[in-house]
């Protein structure tokens, strides 16, 4: 099964959330996404990134397989979030990865906006994962 790098900056960057969503412990490494900014969606409380010349978003890289990408696409509600390939700056140099963005969304600064509570996010992820497991079990 082919594997690829994913750049995470929010929910999936939390090891507990990642494990709940994909049923395994993540192995992260630090990375930076240049010319993007991080925002909060004021309605959902979830984070998103979109292009912003001169800005940088700190996050993490994690390897995912094809099956996990399909689950992530469902979780990120593609095309609500868009999956695009970008270059990530790491200590070892540039690496290609994909990232979930909302290039046309209007958000507010993470310094001002309120994100969804940790427990609320965990509850949503657990409900989503239960739905996925039921689909797979009943398929």
pLDDT tens digit string along 11-43?
899 999 999 999 999 999 999 999 999 998 888
pTM (whole model) above 0.85: yes
- Vertex 62: Cα angle to 29 and 112 (nearest 5): 80
The number of domains in the chain is: 1
Residue 139 has pLDDT above 60, yes or no: no
Work out the mean pLDDT of the chain and round it to a whole number.
Answer: 92
Residue 26 to residue 19: CA distance in whole angstroms: 7
Q: Write out the residue range of the structural domain in which residue 90 sits.
A: 3-138
CATH number at residue 86: 3.10.490.10
pLDDT in tens, 105-128: 888 887 765 677 889 999 999 999
* Predicted local confidence at residue 114, as pLDDT: 67
Measured CA to CA, the distance from residue 12 to residue 114 in angstroms comes to 18
Instruction: Please name which of 93, 83, 87 lies closest in space to residue 34, comparing C-alpha atoms.
Output: 87
């Amino acid at each position: 099964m082919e594997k690829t790098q994913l750049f995470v900056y929010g929910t999936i960057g939390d090891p507990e959330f990642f494990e709940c969503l994909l049923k395994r412990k993540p192995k992260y490494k630090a990375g930076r996404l240049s010319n993007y900014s991080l925002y909060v969606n004021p309605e959902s409380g979830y984070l998103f990134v979109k292009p912003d010349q001169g800005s940088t978003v700190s996050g993490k890289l994690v390897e995912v397989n094809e099956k996990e990408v399909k689950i992530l696409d469902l979780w990120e509600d593609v095309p609500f979030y868009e999956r695009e390939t970008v270059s990530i700056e790491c200590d070892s140099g540039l690496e290609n990865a994909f990232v979930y963005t909302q290039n046309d969304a209007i958000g507010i600064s993470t310094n001002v906006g309120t994100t969804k509570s940790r427990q609320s996010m965990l509850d949503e992820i657990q409900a989503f994962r239960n739905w996925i497991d039921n689909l797979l079990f009943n398929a």
